[in-house]
Structure 1
Amino acid sequence: MNQMLEIAYANLLSPMILFFLIGIFAVVVNSDLKVPTAFYTGYTMIILFTIGIKGGVELRNVSLWEMVPSIIAAVILSIFMLYMTYFLIQKLFSFSVIDSWAVAAHYGSVSAVTFIAGLAFLDKVGIYYEAYMSAILVIMEGPAIIVAIIMYKLYLQKKGQEEINPNASMKHVVKEAFFGKSIFLLLGGIFIGFVAHEDGLLLIKPLFGDLFYGVLCIFLLHMGMIATQSIKQMNNINIASFLFAFILPVIGGTIGIVTGQLIGLSMGGAFIFAVLTGSASYIAAPAAVAQAIPEANSGIYLGSALGLTLPFNLVFGIPYFYWVATLFY
C-alpha cells in the first residue's frame, strides 16, 4: 500500500496532472480562462497523429501473429465491460434500460486521453510496453458501441416502439464508431508511421514528437475544465448514484492486468491493457449514442465518463493500475 501511495504522489506531481488540476481549479473559481475552439482542434490532431505515427513506426518490427492474442483479448474485454456495466448500473443502481445501454457503450469503449496519459506515465518511469498497443486502442474503440446500439434496437422491437430517429441507422452508427475523428486520426497516423520513409519522419519530428508533451499538457488543462463543467451541469447530482464511475475503472483495470499476464504481455503492456479496460470513451461513444439513442440522458453518460471517470483515472486510476501490475510481475 505504501508503494501505491508513493506512485500516486509522484503521479500527482507530474506536469500533465498538474495542468489537469489547474483546469479544474479554473472552473471552480469561475476564471475567464478559455481555450479557442480552433486551437483545441489543432492540438487534438497533433496528439492523435503523434500517437498513431509512433505506433505505426513500431509496428514495422511486429508480426501479425504476435498481435493476435492481444487483438482477441481486446475485443473480448470490450464486450465484457459493456455487459458488466449494463448489469451493474441497471440492476444495482436502478437506471433505466435505455440509459444503462448508453452508459455501457461508453465504458465498453475506451478513452484515448487516458491511454495517452498511461503511455506518458510508462515513459516517465522507463517501463517497456508492446509497440502495437496504439493499434489495440483503435480496435477497442468501436465494438462495444455497436453492440450496445444493437441491444437498444432489440429492446425497442421488444417493446413495439417505432424507430423515429433517421440518424440511428447502423450505417451511420458504424461510421461514428469506427471512422469518427479520433479513430480516423489514429489510423491515419499509424498508416503514415508504417509506410513513410525514415528521413521524411525526421522532418516532421519537431511537431509530431518533440512538442508532444507540451501540447498534451495544454490539452489536459482543457480537459480539466471540460470535466469540471460537465459535473456542474449534472443537476442535483447524487454521488451515490454515480459510484459506478469509480467502481468500473477499478474492476476493469484489475481484469486488464490479469488478462495481460495470461496472454503473455510485458508488465507495461498489461498496464496499458488495464488503462484501456478501466477507461470510458467520451469522444466516439457520445457522438454515436447521441445519434442512435436520443432518448438516453446525456448528462448521465457524459457526466459519468468525462466528469467522473476521466479525472479519477488520471489522478488515482493510473497509479492503481501500475501498483496492481507490480503485484503480478
Structure 2
Amino acid sequence: MEQIIDIAYSNLLSPMILFFLLGIIAVLVNSDLKVPAAFYSGYTMIILFTIGIKGGIELRSVSLLDMLPTMIAAILLSIAMLFIAYFLVKKFFFHSVPDALGIAAHYGSVSAVTFIAGQAFLEKIAVDYESYMSAILVVMEGPAIILAIILYKMYAQKQGEATNNPNASLGHVFKEAFFGKSIFLLLGGIFIGLVAHTDGLTMIKPLFGDLFYGILCIFLLHMGMIATQSLMKLKNIRPLSFLFAFILPIIGGTLGVITGNFIGLSVGGSMILAILTGSASYIAAPAAIEQAIPKANSGVYLGAALGLTLPFNLILGIPFYYWLATLFG
C-alpha cells in the first residue's frame, strides 16, 4: 500500500495532472478564464493525430500476428465492460434503460487522454510496453458504442417506440462510431506514421512531437473546466448514484491487468490495457449516443465519464493499474 501511495503522489505532481486540477479550480472560484472553441478543436486534432502517428511509426516493426491476441482480447474486454456497466448501473444504481445503455457505451469505449497519460507515466519511470498499443486504442473505441445502440433499438422496438431521426439510423451510427472525428484522426495518423518517409516525419516533429505535451497540458486545463461545469449543471441527482464512476474503472482496470498477464503482455502492456479497459470515452461516445439514444441524459453519462472517471484515472487509477500490473507481472 505504501508503494501505491508513493506512486500516486508522484503522479499527482506531474504537469498534466496539475493543469487538470487548475481547470477545476478555475471553475470553482468563478474565474473568467475561457478556452476558445476553435482552440479546443485544434488541439484535439493535434493530440489524436500525434497518438496515431506515433503508433504508426511503431507498427512498422510489428506483424499483425503479434498483435492479434491483444486485438481479440481488447474487443472482448470492450464488450464485457459494456455489459458489466449496464448491469451495475441498472441493477444497483437504478438508472433507466436509456441512461444505463448510454453510460455503458461510454465505459465500454476508451479515453485517448487517459491512454496518453498512462504512456507518459510509463516513460517517466522507464518501463517499456508493447509498441502496438495505439492500434489497440483504435480497436476498442467503437464496438461498445455500436452494440449499446443496437440494444437500445431493440428495447425501443419492444416498447413500441419509433424515431424518424435519420441520425439515429444504424448506418449513421456505424459511420459515427467507426469514422467519426476521433477514430478517423487516429486511423489517419497511424496510416501517416506507417507509410510516410522518415525525412517527412522529421519535418513535422516540432508540432507532433516536441510541442505535444505542452498542447496536452492546455487540453487538460480545458477538460478540467468542462468536467467541473458538467457536474455543476446536474440537478436533483443523488451523489451516491454516481459511485459507479469510481467502481467501473477499478473493475475494468483489474480485468485489463488479468487479461494482459494471461495473453503474455509485459507489465507496461498490461497496465496500458488496464487503462484502456478502465477508462471512459468522452469524445467519440457522446457524439454517437446523443443522436442514437436521445432519451439518455447527457449530463449523467458525460458528467460521470469526464467529471469523475477521468480525474479518478489521472490521479489514482494510473498508479493503481501499474501497481496491480507489477503484482501479476
Aligning the two structures, in what range does the TM-score lie when normalised by the shorter sequence?
over 0.9
Q: What is aligned with 1:121?
A: 121
Which structure 2 residues correspond to residues 1-329 of structure 1 after superposition, within 5 A?
1-329=1-329
Q: Supply the distance in 2 between the matched residues of 1:182 and 1:280 (Cα, whole angstroms).
A: 14
Please list the CA deviations of residues 278-298 of structure 1 after superposition, one character each: whole Å capped at 9, or x if unmatched: 001111111000000111111
Q: Supply the distance in 2 between the matched residues of 1:169 and 1:240 (Cα, whole angstroms).
A: 34
Please list the CA deviations of residues 295-314 of structure 1 after superposition, one character each: whole Å capped at 9, or x if unmatched: 11111111111111111111
Segments of structure 2 that go 5 or more residues without pairing to the other structure are: none
Please list the CA deviations of residues 204-244 of structure 1 after superposition, one character each: whole Å capped at 9, or x if unmatched: 11111011111111111111111111111111332111100
| More displaced 10-residue stretch of structure 1: 31-40 or 71-80 | 31-40
Are the equivalent residues in 1 in contact too, given 2:110–2:140 (CA < 8 A)? Answer: yes
Are the equivalent residues in 1 in contact too, given 2:166–2:172 (CA < 8 A)? Answer: no
Size of the aligned set, in residue pairs, is 329
Question: Secondary structure of 1:200's partner?
Answer: helix
Q: Supply the distance in 1 between the matched residues of 2:188 and 2:64 (Cα, whole angstroms).
A: 19
Q: TM-score, normalised by structure 2?
A: 0.98
- Residue 150 of structure 1 deviates from its aligned partner by 0.5
User: What is the identity, as a one-letter code, of the residue corresponding to 2:111?
Assistant: S
User: What is the identity, as a one-letter code, of the residue corresponding to 1:212?
Assistant: F
Segments of structure 1 that go 5 or more residues without pairing to the other structure are: none
Q: Supply the distance in 1 between the matched residues of 2:272 and 2:323 (Cα, whole angstroms).
A: 13
Question: Secondary structure of 1:324's partner?
Answer: helix
Please list the CA deviations of residues 16-62 of structure 1 after superposition, one character each: whole Å capped at 9, or x if unmatched: 10111111100000000111111121111111111111100000000
Please list the CA deviations of residues 101-159 of structure 1 after superposition, one character each: whole Å capped at 9, or x if unmatched: 11100101111111111111111111101111110000100000000000001111112
Please list the CA deviations of residues 158-214 of structure 1 after superposition, one character each: whole Å capped at 9, or x if unmatched: 122223433110111011111111111111110000000111111111111011111
Q: Supply the distance in 2 between the matched residues of 1:184 and 1:102 (Cα, whole angstroms).
A: 22
Q: TM-score, normalised by structure 1?
A: 0.98
Q: Supply the distance in 2 between the matched residues of 1:38 and 1:152 (Cα, whole angstroms).
A: 33
User: What is the identity, as a one-letter code, of the residue corresponding to 2:285?
Assistant: A
User: What is the identity, as a one-letter code, of the residue corresponding to 1:323?
Assistant: W
Q: Supply the distance in 1 between the matched residues of 2:42 and 2:200 (Cα, whole angstroms).
A: 21
Q: Supply the distance in 1 between the matched residues of 2:300 and 2:35 (Cα, whole angstroms).
A: 25
Q: Supply the distance in 1 between the matched residues of 2:304 and 2:90 (Cα, whole angstroms).
A: 15
Q: Supply the distance in 1 between the matched residues of 2:151 and 2:70 (Cα, whole angstroms).
A: 26
Question: Secondary structure of 2:235's partner?
Answer: coil
- Residue 66 of structure 1 deviates from its aligned partner by 0.2
User: What is the identity, as a one-letter code, of the residue corresponding to 1:115?
Assistant: F
Question: Secondary structure of 2:161's partner?
Answer: coil
Please list the CA deviations of residues 233-285 of structure 1 after superposition, one character each: whole Å capped at 9, or x if unmatched: 11133211110000000010011000000011111110000000000111111
Question: Secondary structure of 2:75's partner?
Answer: helix
Identity score, percent: 73
User: What is the identity, as a one-letter code, of the residue corresponding to 2:101?
Assistant: W
Question: Secondary structure of 1:19's partner?
Answer: helix
Question: Secondary structure of 1:126's partner?
Answer: coil
- RMSD between aligned residues: 0.8
Are the equivalent residues in 1 in contact too, given 2:52–2:134 (CA < 8 A)? Answer: yes
Q: Supply the distance in 2 between the matched residues of 1:205 and 1:166 (Cα, whole angstroms).
A: 41
Question: Secondary structure of 1:224's partner?
Answer: helix
Please list the CA deviations of residues 46-92 of structure 1 after superposition, one character each: whole Å capped at 9, or x if unmatched: 11111111100000000000000001001000000000000111111
User: What is the identity, as a one-letter code, of the residue corresponding to 2:237?
Assistant: I
Question: Secondary structure of 2:313's partner?
Answer: helix
Question: Secondary structure of 1:205's partner?
Answer: helix
Are the equivalent residues in 1 in contact too, given 2:51–2:134 (CA < 8 A)? Answer: yes
